[in-house]
Chain A
Amino acid sequence: MPVIEITGLTKDYPRGFWRKRLHRALDGLNLTVEAGEVFGLLGPNGAGKTTTLKLLMRLIYPTAGSAKLLGRPFTDIDVHRRLGYLPEAPYFYQYLTAREFLDYCGQLFGLPKADRRRRLGELLEQVGLTEAADIALRFFSRGMLQRVGIAQALVNDPELVFLDEPMLGLDPVGRREVRDLILRLGAAGKTVCFSTHVLPDVESVCSRVAILNRGRLHGLGTLGEILKIHVQASEVLVSGFSAALVEALRRLTDGVRVAGDKLSATVPDEQLYTVIDCVRQQGGRLLAVNPVRASLEDYFFEQFGTEKVPELTSQE
């Protein structure tokens, strides 16, 4: 059973002094996410990723369309009991400590006191904030706030977790931790849907992605499907080569580079085995043959180029 079903979701924002002009932030989105998926929402800034998540969480209301979460209509506030949500660049009550804040969240779920205390401890450990638990949130760094944010999203041990730009503002260590956390959640059978505009984050984690731009869906499927992986070329790595070999290779293909005692050549598919034979004949040592794949970045540049995407700053 799909955990997220979005049908024709549309959001217009009135713009201009008289609020007559409409800016369409999301245009008829149709999307389905199955249980247990780690789903990525990708797109440049202003693509409609955050808008989608806010619509699902009923923080803003759609102009048209509807959605179902965990089989229930998204207007049902009780379904939030089984959801977790981390907003983009979150901000928390400055005068509370991390512990007090998480306890407050627990109260909002109706968790009894004993459960709350236990869960707090677990969560704080999970996000690595046990030591900072009793410091006021206004002293927290960006990274620490992000971790508190993730903790509060998991207070109720949700089946479905929404994370809006979870890696924002984190250093490489932090990003790795979040990535691992997402993988753990996925492994535990939860469905995770997160948005980002940072592509390398996605490649290692997501089972499927949706690519949005200017409020429209541009691509949906596994990374492989989207990037249409077919090995177009390979990179051949050679050592122990002679000048004659270099000559020979240069005649066969263009992309020959020599760096110190290593030679690499980008070889189109058709010529791969010819090149390998050449190397063998000339007595070079074949180190590696790596397929060259299109990356997500390439995809983006190809699809969206350098077009300027309108940046949405304040909405409403």
Chain B
Amino acid sequence: MQRVAAIAFNTFREAVRDRVLYNLIVFALLLIGTAILFGQISIGVERLIVINLGLTAVTFFGLAIAIFIGIGLVYKEMDQRTLYVLLAKPVRRVEFILGKFFGLALTLLVNTALMGVGFFLALYYVEGRISLPEANLLAALYFVFLALLLATALALLFSCFSSPVLSAALTFGLFVAGSLAEDLRELGRMMEVPVVEMLARVVYYVIPNFRNFNVISGVAHGHPVPAALLWENTAYAFLYIGLVLAAAALIFQNRNLK
């Protein structure tokens, strides 16, 4: 709908004009450049290091962007009451949530693309030649982007009801927990107490499984990304994001504004 698009574009515009963004991107690019230095250690390992460090840097800086911008934008809006003006228009609360999310998603897309370009440039430098970006690496980058979208949705959800510091902590905490999801399930199994095992399994399915999106070690060694994983991860991301946004819309709908 046009209103959602308007809100999305406005969110994107505000994010772009926020200087936090540029700092983070610069740092990410610097880090990727550092990978080149690291690679000097041992010749065969250069490519390995650049891919590992590069993609991990994109992940974590992307996460920082998702958290800072995502939480900042929503909280700022609610705290500074620009929201009053917005909701006085014929804008449904759910449209606001959706618009904000898509605006942030667009911001993330641009960032990830920029950092991706830096990453491929570093890779070309290390390999000594320019070639079409490998499909594997693009897939890995795509998965990172999906993970960041999910993190953004979570940040948005938390912003609907908690302070920015708490929201940031919760989002980051869920990211770590979600990356450890499999280990938690393992731990539950090792306990051999049925209740604990059951609990571990439930937790495993409930928390967002960020490990799904991490194929970095694999592509660093040239293992192909299974084609099925492409749509499976996409489906997981869309489903989970959908649920999170629905929850956010629900909470926001019933919220009395300051």
Contacts and interface: CB of A to CB of B under 8 A. Distances in A.
A and B, direct touch (CB closer than 8 Å): yes
Interface string B73-106: 0000000111111111111100000000000000
A77 B85 contact: no
B42 interface: no
Query: Which of B3, B81, B90, B92 has the most chain A CB atoms closer than 10 A to its own CB?
Result: B90
Contacts of B257: 54, 59-60, 316
13 contacts: A58-B87, A79-B90, A84-B88, A90-B84, A91-B80, A104-B6, A104-B10, A107-B2, A107-B3, A108-B89, A109-B90, A152-B85, A314-B258
Interface of B: 2-3, 6-7, 10, 13-14, 17-18, 80-92, 254, 256-258
A299 interface: no
Interface string A82-99: 011101011111011000
B10 A315 contact: no
Interface of A: 54, 57-61, 77-81, 83-85, 87, 89-93, 95-96, 100, 104-105, 107-110, 149, 152, 314-316
Query: Which of A54, A81, A83, A108 has the most chain B CB atoms closer than 10 A to its own CB?
Result: A108
Query: Which of B82, B83, B258 has the most chain A CB atoms closer than 10 A to its own CB?
Result: B82
B253 to A, nearest CB: 10
A60 B90 contact: no
B159 to A, nearest CB: 15
Contact of B88 (A60, A83, A91, A96): A83
A85 B84 CA distance: 9
A311 to B, nearest CB: 15
A85 B88 contact: yes
A59 B85 CA distance: 10
A95 B69 CA distance: 14
The 3 residue pairs across chains A and B that have the minimum distance between CB atoms: A85-B88, A107-B6, A95-B17
Contacts of A108: 3, 6-7, 86, 89-91
A315 B87 contact: no
Given A54-B257, A60-B256, A110-B2, A96 B13 contact: yes
Query: Which of B3, B84, B86, B89 has the most chain A CB atoms closer than 10 A to its own CB?
Result: B89
A77 B82 contact: no
B118 to A, nearest CB: 25
Nearest to B15: A95
A85 B17 contact: no
Given A87-B84, A91-B80, A91-B81, A109 B14 contact: no
B89 A91 contact: no
B3 A92 contact: no
A312 B81 CA distance: 16
B72 to A, nearest CB: 12
Contacts of A77: 90-92
Nearest to A112: B2
Contacts of A104: 6, 10
Contacts of A314: 258
